[in-house]
Structure 1
């Protein structure tokens, strides 16, 4: 998203997955920015709907006020800079394996029985 011109300084998460500290730390390491976990005392779907409503109303100032009012982080995970290359390489391997899988299926498709 940074390549597309979006400038983020922090990722804010809430909900069930936010309770998994390992996953949250991996997220911080992958995106290489702080990930803040909000208190899970509100419904994240409703929160997203409220944010979308403000965006549709084309009122970015109210969106920021809304976020500032509810996004009270209870914990922030900082990225481990040493892990950036690890996750980048792991993703490249994942993409390579995905390509091999697709190529393999195409190659073997000629042997399928009709």
Structure 2
């Protein structure tokens, strides 16, 4: 949109907290992006895998919803996603080790990172 001459930019959001998205958030070119903490996802997936490998089922306290796959409702573990804004880059994706401040703040993003106190 920036290249197409939109000024001011409308609120732009995203999904998955890709590096380029985090850099745009820090630079003020994107309002926010959705962040799903991989550690939570990995822990839940590992717990389910171990239970199933042992011939059991995931613990009932972990299964908190159902998702219809077009044929039936599948028991699911629904995790909460968060948002990353300029104000919380450091306390979300950097604190969790998803991205390093050095990766986010390279090149043209160095000054924006300093202003957002990412480093």
- Please indicate the TM-score interval, normalised by the length of the shorter structure: under 0.3
Higher helix share: 1
Which protein, 1 or 2, shows the higher relative CO under an 8 Å CA cutoff with sep ≥ 6? 1
Structure with higher strand content: 2
- Normalised by the length of structure 1, the TM-score is 0.25
TM-score, normalization: structure 2? 0.25
Larger radius of gyration between Structure 1 and Structure 2: 1
